[in-house]
């Protein structure tokens, strides 16, 4: 005669072998995100010497994967909105968040970088250049008559944004200058020799350009 405990164990074993109480095991879900090797294969061939920090640039991504720093890649997209930019933009730049984003996208630039550059160069839209010449990016031209560098006047802030972004695209990023440090060496060079034709910094403020721009970029990235 079989004892009750053994009878119970036998019944449980029988039931486990059926679909009544057999636990359902879910199949492993397929991972839709491509392998890193695929990303590398899709990325354009770029001279690694341009990126001494060794950072992998994921050109297939639509989200930003970087923080504000001198090594910030200005050609990568950044997640922002016109409303977010306008929270910080002031002076003649106020309300131009949408224009900045559209212009940056057209020339394959980070909109937060373009906003930070203009905010830094124009004291956030309040400098004399910005108010009197619509020049929000500090662009200068050499005047032979005045024998000095003078601000380029623009008919509107939009025109200045267009000229600034096109200049960055044509003369910087497409020539391999894609980080803030690389751009600074040409856009805002530190020249102390007053006899140099390119000397345009009598107050020696260019040495603060990178740190000042990064501070603004940090604010725009954090909105």
Query: What are 109-125's pLDDT values in tens digits?
Result: 999 999 999 999 999 99
Mean pLDDT, residues 22-48 taken together = 39
pLDDT at 203: 62
Topology of domain 61-222, per CATH? Lysozyme (1.10.530)
Q: List the structure tokens of 155.
A: 């008919």
Query: Do residues 210 and 192 make contact, with C-beta atoms less than 8 angstroms apart?
Result: no
pLDDT at 145: 92
pLDDT at 223: 86
Predicted TM-score (pTM) above 0.85 = no
Q: Residue 218 is inside which H or E element, if any?
A: helix 209-222
Query: What are 80-96's pLDDT values in tens digits?
Result: 999 999 999 999 999 99
CA–CA gap between residue 52 and residue 11 (Å, rounded): 69
Q: What mean pLDDT, rounded, does the chain reach?
A: 77
Is the pLDDT assigned to residue 105 strictly greater than 60? yes
Taking the domains of the chain in order of start, what are their residue ranges? Answer: 61-222
pLDDT at 43: 38
CA–CA gap between residue 166 and residue 172 (Å, rounded): 10
Query: Do residues 155 and 134 make contact, with C-beta atoms less than 8 angstroms apart?
Result: yes
Mean pLDDT, residues 21-36 taken together = 41
Mean pLDDT, residues 163-177 taken together = 97
């Amino acid at each position: 005669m079989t004892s009750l405990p053994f009878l119970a164990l036998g019944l449980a074993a029988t039931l486990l072998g059926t679909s009544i109480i057999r636990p359902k095991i879910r199949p492993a879900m397929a991972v839709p995100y491509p392998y890193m090797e695929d990303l590398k294969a899709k990325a354009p061939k770029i001279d690694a010497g341009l990126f001494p920090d060794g950072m992998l640039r994921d050109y297939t991504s639509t989200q930003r994967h970087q923080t504000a720093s001198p090594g910030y890649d200005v050609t990568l997209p950044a997640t922002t909105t016109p409303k977010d930019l306008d929270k910080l933009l002031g002076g003649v730049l106020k309300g131009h968040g949408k224009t900045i984003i559209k212009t940056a996208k057209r020339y394959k630039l980070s909109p937060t970088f373009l906003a930070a550059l203009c905010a830094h160069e124009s004291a956030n839209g309040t400098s004399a250049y910005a108010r009197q010449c619509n020049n929000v990016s500090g662009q200068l031209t050499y005047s032979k008559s005045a024998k000095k560098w003078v601000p380029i006047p623009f008919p509107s802030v939009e025109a200045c944004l267009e000229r600034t972004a096109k200049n960055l695209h044509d003369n910087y990023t497409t020539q391999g200058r894609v980080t803030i440090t690389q751009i600074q060496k040409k856009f805002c060079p530190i020249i102390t020799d007053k006899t140099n034709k390119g000397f345009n910094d009598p107050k020696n403020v260019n040495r603060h350009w990178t740190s000042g721009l990064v501070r603004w970029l940090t604010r725009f990235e954090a909105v």
